[in-house]
Amino acid sequence: QVQLVESGGGSAQAGGSLRLSCAVFGVDYRWFCMGWFRQAPGKEREWVAGTSGGDSTYYADFLKGRFTVSQDNAKNTVYLQMNSLKPEDTAMYYCAAGPGALCSSTPADMRQYNLWGQGTQVTVSS
């Protein structure tokens, strides 16, 4: 069974760091565009970052270098390292898998992602 399982969320102070994990089961993640999204209360879900082919990475402009996507091929897991956290980063974070070419074309198009994880909550306090 193909599934995505996120972990690593929690609480942090502003300026702190968290690392989210997205473990992929049942398929090699490198075949897909793996996207990270987030949804804050009362707001639409937005694309944060993505990776494809096991090495290429893509980021939303608003991050300004604070977040980094990495991969562990042996663990079939994708990570989102979040540094310099701000209260506005508070949201439910999701990973999703879509067609491999998606990351280099329209990675923010949620409709193109076929599989979603259950999400992990990140709360940043000031």
Q: In the prediction, which pLDDT does 55 show?
A: 85
| Element spanning 62, H or E | none
Q: Name the residue among 106, 93, 98, 84 with its Cα closest to residue 22.
A: 93
pLDDT at 54 over 90: no
Q: Which two tokens stand for residue 118?
A: 């259950």
pLDDT at 64 over 90: no
pLDDT tens, 13-33?
999 999 999 999 999 999 999
For residue 28, which amino acid is it? D
pLDDT tens, 65-107?
999 999 999 999 999 999 999 999 999 999 999 999 999 999 9
